[in-house]
Amino acid sequence: MKSHASTIFKILLLSAAISVAIKYGGPLLPVSASTPVALGAVLVPPLGLAIALGWRARQTS
């Protein structure tokens, strides 16, 4: 049980660190507020995950 709690705590800390980095570091990035940038920010992470999972599935079978 301790290892599960430790893992969850680490994930929560990492999530909080990423959130703070986005909140305070995001406005410092020179990115224009446009539709293609928003679509890229929303669609790239799931596509990357899908590619990684598909690649992993092909390697195991």
- Angstrom distance (rounded) from CA 50 to CA 23: 27
DSSP 4-59: HHHHHHHHHHHHHHHHHHHHHHGGGS-----HHHHHHHHHHHHHHHHHHHHHHHHH
38 & 61 share domain: yes
Question: What integer pLDDT is reported at residue 4 of this predicted model?
Answer: 86
Domain of residue 17: give its range: 1-30
pLDDT, one tens digit per residue, over 4-61 is 888 999 999 999 999 999 899 888 888 888 999 889 989 999 999 999 999 999 988 6
> Cα separation of 44 and 37, whole Å?
10
Same domain, yes or no: 60 and 39? yes
Q: Are residues 38 and 60 in the same domain?
A: yes
| Cβ-proximal residues to 37 (8 Å cutoff; 6+ apart), any chain | 31
pLDDT band at 1 (very low <50, low <70, confident <90, very high): low
Instruction: Say yes or no: 22 and 40 in one domain.
Output: no
pTM tops 0.85: no
Indicate if 45 and 57 belong to the same structural domain.
Answer: yes
What pLDDT is attached to residue 5? 86
